[in-house]
Amino acid sequence: MNANPPPQFGRVALRGGLVTAGSQGFKMVIQFISVIILARLLVPEDFGLVASVGPIVAFVGLLQNLGLQQALVQRKDISDRQLNQVFWVSALVGLGSSVVVAALAPAIA
């Protein structure tokens, strides 16, 4: 590892942080607007159901990530085989978690 980072490292890090913060802020605004729209369109019972399922869906979304993409990005050399494996593992985890949520839907509702 280089002890002396290039002079532009600070600017690149700041720019990356600002882009990440901006994208997260945009995501939060869109989610807030979608909740307002759903509250207007749904009857209170249905909106309560959507609100109760929201944390479950968010938790499943966290489990789907697994950190595989981050690990792949940190590698210097990435082979086509590794890309293929990460894609299929992510796809299978997504499919499996969708099946579990669908199977538990009657109990949750």
60-85: average pLDDT: 82
pTM given for the model: 0.59
Percent of the chain with pLDDT over 90: 34
How would residue 1 be classed by pLDDT, with cut points 50, 70 and 90?
low
The pLDDT tens digits of the residues spanning 5-53 come to 666 888 888 898 999 999 999 999 999 999 999 999 999 999 998 888 8
Give the CA count within 13 Å in the CB-facing half-sphere of 19: 6
Percent of the chain with pLDDT over 70: 94
